[in-house]
Amino acid sequence: MARCLGIELVDASVPADATIGRAARTLADAHASALAVLGPDGHVIGTFTQLDLVRSVFPPYLAELHHTAGLLDDREAMAERVADRSDDPLPRPTTRPVTVEIGTSAIHVAELFLHTGLPALPVVDGERFVGMLELVAFCRAIVPAP
């Protein structure tokens, strides 16, 4: 498995034409918090995070609400929505993807984590995707265990 800053990267990616269901399975199988979305030529064209998955399967108006503590789960509707959305294509990336060069510095990676809010960053070697750098792994690497 490829490494960046000495940290083992997670092999988690899907092609751009993948469904939400496939992306969800890839996230779960790889124990990843985000995966790279790859274009037809294998370049990173975006990321799909666990938050994107939540956004996909919960009602879209949820993002507009701020006070939901009094709501109860509607399991029937939730199951219907998950089944409906599983075959939907991934949302099209609307911004340029943030990527990390394999030989980059820890301070640059820290800056990208701070400013993008992403839980994992795609690492590339040139234009080739090599794996996802997880924030949790980055934290473990910079703060050694006692």
Partner 1 sequence: MTAFTVVVFALALAVIAFEWIHRTKVALAGAGLIVIAGAIDAEHAIEAVDWGTLGLLAGMMLIVALTERTGVFTFIALRLAQLSRGSALRLTFLLTGATGVLSAFLDNLTAILLVVPVTFLIADLLRISAIPLVIAEVIAANVGGTATLIGDPPNILIGTHVDELSFNDFIVNLAPVSVVTLVATIGLVYLVTRRKLAVAPERIESLQRLDPRADMAGKPKVKRSIAVLLGTIVLFFLHQTLHLEPAVVALVGATVMLLVVVDDVDDALRTIDWSTLFFFVGLFVMVGALEERGVVEQVAQWIGDATGESPTGEAMALLWGGAAGSAIVDNIPFTAAMIPVVDELNANDEGFVDTNWWALALGACFGGNATIVAAAANVAASGVAARSGQPISFMRFLAIGLPVTLVSLGIATAYLLVFQL
- The stretch among 17-25, 31-39, 46-54, 69-77 that binds partner 1 (CB under 8 A) is 69-77
What is the residue whose two structure tokens read 């990616």?
13
| For partner 1, the closer CB: 69 or 145 | 69
Alpha carbon separation from 10 to 7, 38, 122, 138 (Å, rounded): 10, 15, 9, 12
| By CB under 8 A, residue 61 contacts partner 1 | yes
Among 60, 103, 126, 146, binds partner 1 (CB under 8 A): 60
| By CB under 8 A, residue 92 contacts partner 1 | no
CB of 15 to partner 1, least distance (A): 25
- Please tell me the distance from the alpha carbon of residue 49 to that of residue 116, in angstroms, as a whole number: 12
| For partner 1, the closer CB: 68 or 94 | 68
Q: What are phi and psi of 70, to 5 degrees?
A: -85, 5
For the beta carbon of residue 19, count every other beta carbon within 10 angstroms. Answer: 15
Residues that bind partner 1 (CB under 8 A): 59-61, 63-72, 74, 77
